[in-house]
């Protein structure tokens, strides 16, 4: 930035120290060096090709990766299906319950995974009259045949939904507030739209970025979750990683880097999907606004 | 027979009575404005007509049919919101088409109607723009077109101009009125802006504290307000609180002054009254002029000192200090306002006919004195 000239002297240029670039580089180093060190450690004593050939030939690798992926997708879809219409309905019809919903969505932060898993196993493994009443009969129904949901992947997916609640509710609620969902709903009603039309054609397209943020966080949480899966006795990819680490730390290190890369690809794919979906409304944002008539 | 009838409407919000037994009849093709300050219940009435609020009492009859219990989406109403409420992810044309697509009309018909409506609101070239690419005035035009697209029987407008700047407000209110007349559309318009109400309405319902103070044509409300609130809220006025000395002879004691007012046949002697005088009814004279022609043809005379002078184009507004507490406003044609300076002592005069006399019983509501719009 040029400073004004004094007494006829030419303007001096202030030299930019590039502090912002320096901080960015330092942050990247802080994040990437451990990853790189892990990769180097994993490849030591073997070639890159040899290491990953060994990994990819392990049948458990594919099985557990697929299991984790399916659980992550199920938890993500279930979270969105549960939270999105609930948050919308509370905003439109029950605004006084918003505070309660915010508190409920934060409770999972306070409950350790071990307590959560033991609680779920106890409730669905040994249903009693109290849980039957509180769940309107759903717990006994799911605990008994043909479902017998205790210690099963569906229950684990539900557990993932619970631990992801804080990350799902907040972005969706923020999107609804930014949208002024109440007024848009009334506008759509005045034009003859029913609730489903309003939700699908007016609300969802506008809170899509919030839903994608929620999906990203749920997906990555579920992909990397270890404790709940261990206690449920379900062999997921993080459990496979842990087991490999006990026998061969180098292979475990290589697997960790691979897992990180895979999750990163999934996250980037979702982000690109968001940009494409949001393109219709934002495509021409750089076009100058029409002048006032 | 009235087209839209609101019968004994009642609405509570907790302990607050937002709408207190209001009955209004609206004729077909009429432009009725609900005018009042914030919290008077005007928006609540509009929302009950739209179906967004359920009344706690009363009925709504549209063309003879009771629609009180009908959900909003089934009522043949179109609504324009203060915040435009355009769908951000849809283009202007898609916004207009939305209501018609809900009715499952043929695509060709929808397209044709969209083109017609865009032309009606003078935005034929803007159909493919998104709301964020339009100015506030343009967005509100699209919102109007969208409300008209469903061919409503009644058009509801909830302070549609409040979010716009002054110039756009004036041009758009004229546009709304032009379109309403062109389509012979029955409309209910809510505003707190009295100038807006006076400019566009066939009738105005002046409201305060959940009740209708007066419902009449704009000119009638302005010239012959029937309540203290109507007199003080609509238009600018100077307010004098006094006591009737002689109702029959038209004499009113206001502090040290005896005002000559029109004879009062409905009020009795010693009644507490509010005397409202419009600023344009007050003539300003220098003391020299006053001494040469004491009466000036007017019945009432006051003396004061000019505190402020504001040039408003065709009129000049004088703020005059009377005594220690009282200030009044006089609007004088600018061609007659030369020579009157700040600090000058002047005489003010106004005829008895200019005095609007309203009863000040214990339930009377009076608007804040002299609403300084500073516009003509």
Sequence ranges of the domains in chain B? 4-223, 237-359
Interface TM-score (ipTM) > 0.95: no
pLDDT in tens, A73-103: 999 999 999 999 999 999 999 999 999 999 9
Residue B44: pLDDT band by 50, 70, 90 thresholds? very high
The pLDDT confidence band at residue B365, using thresholds 50, 70 and 90, is low
Q: What is the pLDDT of residue B93?
A: 96
Residues in A lying within 8 Å of B, measured between beta carbons = 179-180, 183-184, 186-194, 197, 201-202, 205-206, 280-281, 284-285, 287, 289-293
A&B contacts, CB < 8 Å: 94
In the predicted structure, residue A175 carries a pLDDT above the cut 70: yes
| Span A236-260, average pLDDT | 83
Choose among A190, A280, A285: nearest Cβ to B72: A190
CATH class of the domain comprising A47-273: mainly alpha
Q: Whole-number mean pLDDT of chain B? A: 90
Residues of A in contact with B130 (CB under 8 A): 281, 284
B237-359: CATH number: 2.40.50.100
> Model confidence at A189, in pLDDT bands (50, 70, 90)?
very high
Contact A192 B103 (CB under 8 A): yes
Mean pLDDT in residue range B325-334? 89
Per-residue pLDDT band for B297 (boundaries 50, 70, 90) equals low
Judged by average pLDDT, the poorest of A55-69, A262-276, B108-122 is A262-276
pLDDT in the model for residue A126: 81
A279 vs A142: which has the higher pLDDT: A142
Cβ atoms of B303 and B348 within 8 Å: the answer is: yes
Å between A241 CA and nearest CA of chain B = 44
Give mean pLDDT, residues B258-268. 88
- Tell me which chain A residue has its CA closest to the CA of residue B123: A293
The answer on pLDDT for A11 being more than 90 is no
Q: Which of B84, B95, B98 to mutate to test the interface with A (most CBs of A within 10 A)?
A: B98
CB contact under 8 A, B50 and A194: no
pLDDT at B364: 63
- In chain A, the residue whose alpha carbon lies closest to the alpha carbon of B91 is A281
- Partners of A181 on chain B (C-beta within 8 Å) are none
* Span B73-97, average pLDDT: 95
Model pLDDT for residues B304-325, shown as the tens digit of each residue: 999 999 999 999 999 999 877 7
CATH superfamily ID and name for B4-223:
P-loop containing nucleotide triphosphate hydrolases (3.40.50.300)
Give the rounded percent of residues in chain A with a pLDDT score beyond 70: 85
Q: When comparing pLDDT for A291 and A22, which is higher? A: A22
Chain A residues closer than 8 Å to B77 by CB: 190
Q: Say if residue B27's pLDDT is above 60.
A: yes
Contact B78/A190, CB-based, under 8 Å? yes
Q: How far is CA B218 from CA A100, A183, B32, B207, B376, in A?
A: 49, 31, 10, 14, 16
Distance from CA of B150 to the nearest CA of A (A): 7
| pLDDT over 60 at B107, yes or no | yes
Q: What is the pLDDT of residue A14?
A: 58
Q: Who has greater pLDDT, B367 or A190?
A: A190
Identify the contact set of chain B against chain A, taking CB-CB distances under 8 A.
50-52, 71-74, 77-79, 81, 83, 85-89, 98-99, 102-103, 122, 126, 129-130, 132-138, 146-147, 149-150, 156, 165, 167-168, 171
User: How much is the pLDDT for B159?
Assistant: 95
pLDDT for B371 beyond 50: no
pLDDT tens-place string over residues B188-211: 999 999 989 999 999 999 999 999
**pLDDT at position A16, please?**
60
């Amino acid at each position: 930035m040029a400073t004004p000239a004094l007494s006829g002297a030419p303007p001096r240029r202030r030299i930019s120290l590039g502090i912002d670039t320096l901080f960015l580089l330092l942050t990247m180093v802080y994040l990437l060096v451990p990853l790189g060190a892990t990769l180097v450690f994993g490849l030591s004593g073997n070639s890159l090709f040899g290491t990953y050939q060994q990994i990819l030939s392990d049948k458990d690798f594919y099985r557990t990766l697929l299991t984790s992926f399916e659980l992550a997708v199920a938890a993500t879809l279930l979270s969105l299906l549960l939270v999105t219409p609930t948050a919308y309905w509370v905003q439109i019809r029950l605004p006084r319950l918003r505070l309660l919903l915010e508190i409920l969505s934060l409770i999972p932060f306070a409950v350790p995974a071990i307590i959560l898993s033991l609680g779920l196993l106890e409730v669905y493994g040994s249903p009693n009259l109290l849980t039957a009443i509180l769940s309107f009969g759903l717990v006994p129904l799911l605990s008994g045949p043909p479902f017998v949901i205790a210690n099963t992947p569906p229950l684990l997916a539900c557990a993932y939904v619970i631990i992801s609640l804080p990350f799902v509710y907040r972005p969706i609620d923020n999107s609804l507030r930014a949208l002024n969902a109440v007024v848009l709903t009334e506008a759509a009603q005045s034009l003859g739209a029913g609730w489903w039309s309003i939700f699908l054609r007016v609300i969802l397209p506008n809170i899509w970025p919030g839903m994608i943020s929620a999906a990203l966080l749920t997906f990555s949480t579920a992909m990397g979750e270890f404790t709940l899966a261990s206690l449920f006795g379900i062999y997921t990819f993080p459990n496979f990683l842990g087991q490999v680490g006990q026998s061969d730390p180098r292979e475990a290190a290589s697997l960790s880097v691979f897992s990180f890369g895979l999750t990163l690809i999934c996250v980037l794919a979702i982000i690109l999907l968001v940009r494409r979906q949001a393109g219709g409304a934002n495509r021409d944002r750089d076009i100058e606004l029409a002048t006032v008539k | 027979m009235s087209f839209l009838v609101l019968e004994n409407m009642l609405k509570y919000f907790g302990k607050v009575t937002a709408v207190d037994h209001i009955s209004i009849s609206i004729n077909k093709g009429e432009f009725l404005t609900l005018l009042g300050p914030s919290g008077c219940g005007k928006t609540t009435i509009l929302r009950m007509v739209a179906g967004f609020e359920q009344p706690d009492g009363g009925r709504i009859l549209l063309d003879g049919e009771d629609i009180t219990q009908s959900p909003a989406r089934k009522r043949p109403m179109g609504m324009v919101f203060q915040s435009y409420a355009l769908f951000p992810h849809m283009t202007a044309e898609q916004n207009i088409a939305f209501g018609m697509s809900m009715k499952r009309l043929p695509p060709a018909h929808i397209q044709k109607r969209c083109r017609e409506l865009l032309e009606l609101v003078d935005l034929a070239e803007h159909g493919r723009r998104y709301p964020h690419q339009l100015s506030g005035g343009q967005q509100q035009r699209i919102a109007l077109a969208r409300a008209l697209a469903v061919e409503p029987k009644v058009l509801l407008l909830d302070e549609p101009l409040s979010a716009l700047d002054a110039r756009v407000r004036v041009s758009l209110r004229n546009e709304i009125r032009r379109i309403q007349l062109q389509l012979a559309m029955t409309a209910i318009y809510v505003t707190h802006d009295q100038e807006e109400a006076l400019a566009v309405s066939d009738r105005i319902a002046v409201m305060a504290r959940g009740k209708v103070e007066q419902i009449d044509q704009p000119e009638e409300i302005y010239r012959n307000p029937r309540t203290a609130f109507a007199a003080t809220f609509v238009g600018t006025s100077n307010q004098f609180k006094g006591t009737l000395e002689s109702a029959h002879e038209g004499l009113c004691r206001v502090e040290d002054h005896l005002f000559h007012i029109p004879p009062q046949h409905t009020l009795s002697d010693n009644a507490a009254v509010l005397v409202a005088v419009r600023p344009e009814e007050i003539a300003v004279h220098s003391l020299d002029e006053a001494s040469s022609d004491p009466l000036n043809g007017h019945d009432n005379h006051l003396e004061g000192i000019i505190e402020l002078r504001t040039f408003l184009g065709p009129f000049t507004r004088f703020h005059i200090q009377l005594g220690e507490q009282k200030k009044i406003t006089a609007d004088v044609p600018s061609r007659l306002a030369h020579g009157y300076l700040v600090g000058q002592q002047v005489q003010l005069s106004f005829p008895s006919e200019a005095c609007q006399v309203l009863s000040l019983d214990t339930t009377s509501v009076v608007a804040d004195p002299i609403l300084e719009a500073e516009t003509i």
